[in-house]
Chains A and B, each alone.
Chain A
Amino acid sequence: MNKKRKMYFRMITASLMRRRSRMLIALLAIAIGATILSGLVTIYYDVPRQMGAEFRNYGANMILVASEESFTLEDVDQSMSYIKQNELVGVTPYHYETVRIHELPVLAAAMDLEQVQKTSPYWNVDGDWAASDGELMIGKTIASDMQLGVGDSITVTWTPSAGDAEAETTAQNEDELILDNEMEMTITGIVETGGSEEDYVYMSLADMETLTGTVPDLDIAEVSVSASGADLENYKNAITDNVDAVNARLVKRVTASETTVLSKLQALVLLVTIIVLALTMITVATTMTAVVTERRKEIGLRKALGASDQSIRMEFLGEGLLLGGLGGILGSILGFAFAQAVSINVFSSSISFRPLLVPITIIVSVVVTGAACMIPVRSATDVDPALVLKGE
Chain B
Amino acid sequence: MSLLELKNVSKIYGDLHALDDVSMKVEKGEWVAIMGPSGSGKSTMMNIIGCMDKPSLGEVLLDGVDIARESGKNLTTIRRDKIGLIFQQFHLVGYLTAVENVMLAQYYHSIPDEKEAMEALERVGLADRARHLPSQLSGGEQQRVCVARALINHPEIVLADEPTGNLDEANESIVVELFHKLHDEGTTLIVVTHDPEVAEVAQRTLVLRDGRLVKETVNDHFTGVIHYND
Enumerate chain A interface residues (CB-CB to B < 8 A): 1, 3-4, 6-8, 10-11, 14-15, 18-19, 297-298, 301-308, 311, 384-386, 389-391
Contact of A15 among B50, B79, B87, B95 (CB under 8 A): B95
**Assembly CA distance A10 to B114 (angstroms):** 12
Q: Which of B90-128 contact A (CB under 8 A)?
A: 91-96, 100, 103-109, 111-113
- Using A305-B105, A306-B79, A391-B91 as known contacts, list a sample of 6 further A-B pairs with CB atoms less than 8 Å apart, ordered by residue number in A: A11-B96, A298-B93, A301-B92, A305-B104, A306-B80, A389-B87
Supposing A389-B87, A390-B43 touch, asked if A7 and B107 sit within 8 A by C-beta, the answer is yes
Q: Are A391 and B81 interface neighbours, CB within 8 A?
A: no
The CA of A390 and the CA of B76, in the complex, are separated in Å by: 18
The CB with the most chain A CB atoms within 10 A, among B43, B50, B52, B95, is that of B95
Whether the Cβ atoms of A7 and B112 lie closer than 8 Å is yes
Please state if B95 and A18 are interface contacts (CB–CB under 8 Å).
Answer: yes
Nearest to B84 among chain A residues (CB) is A305
Chain A residue numbers with a CB within 8 Å of B76 are 303, 306-308
Residue from the list B53, B91, B95 in contact with A386, Cβ < 8 A: B53
The verdict on B85 contacting chain A, using a C-beta distance below 8 Å, is yes
Q: Which of A10, A307, A385, A391 contacts B108 (CB 8 A)?
A: A307
Q: Is the CB of A10 within 8 A of B100?
A: yes
B52 touches which of A1, A7, A298, A304 (Cβ 8 Å): A304
> Given A10-B100, A304-B52, A304-B85, are A389 and B91 neighbors across the interface (CB < 8 Å)?
yes
CB-nearest residue of chain B to A10 = B100
Nearest opposing residue in chain B for A7, CB measure: B112
Query: Closest residue of chain B to A311, judged by CB?
Result: B108
Contact in complex: A306, B93 (CB < 8 Å):
no
Interface size on B, residues (CB 8 A): 34
Residues of chain A contacted by B89 (CB below 8 angstroms): 389, 391
B203 in the interface (beta carbon within 8 A)? no
Minimal beta-carbon separation of B88 from chain A (angstroms): 6
Q: B100's contact among A14, A304, A305, A390, by CB below 8 Å, is which?
A: A14
**Alpha-carbon distance between A7 and B102 when the two chains are bound, in angstroms:** 11
Main SS class of interface, A: helix
B108 touches A305 (CB 8 A): yes
Residue in B47, B50, B77, B95 whose beta carbon sits within 8 Å of that of A14 in the complex: B95
Q: Flag if B81 contacts A306 (CB, 8 Å).
A: yes
Return the 9 tightest CB-CB contacts between A and B, nearest first. A306-B80, A18-B95, A386-B52, A7-B112, A391-B89, A306-B108, A386-B47, A307-B108, A386-B53
Which of B88, B100, B103 is the one whose CB lies under 8 Å from A391? B88
B104 close to A3 (CB less than 8 A)? no
Contacts of B100 in A (CB 8 A): 10-11, 14
* B3 interface residue (CB < 8 Å to A): no
Query: Could you say which of A7, A308, A389 contacts B73, with CB atoms under 8 Å apart?
Result: A308
Docked complex Cα distance between A117 and B107 (Å): 72
Q: Determine whether B133 belongs to the interface, using a CB cutoff of 8 Å to chain A.
A: yes
Partner of A305, one of B43, B80, B95: B80
Chain B residue with the shortest CB-CB distance to A20: B95
Q: Is A297 a contact partner of B91 (Cβ separation < 8 A)?
A: yes
Complex partner residue of A19 from B50, B81, B95, B112, CB under 8 angstroms: B95
Contacts of B53 in A (CB 8 A): 386
Q: Which residues of A contact B96 (CB under 8 A)?
A: 11, 14, 18
Query: What's the Cα separation between A279 and B85 when bound, in Å?
Result: 43
Q: Kindly report which residue of chain A lies nearest to residue B161, judged by CB atoms.
A: A389
B62 to chain A, nearest CB (A): 15
A294 → B minimal CB distance (Å): 11
Task: Determine the chain A residues whose CB is within 8 A of the CB of B111 once the complex forms.
Answer: 1, 3-4
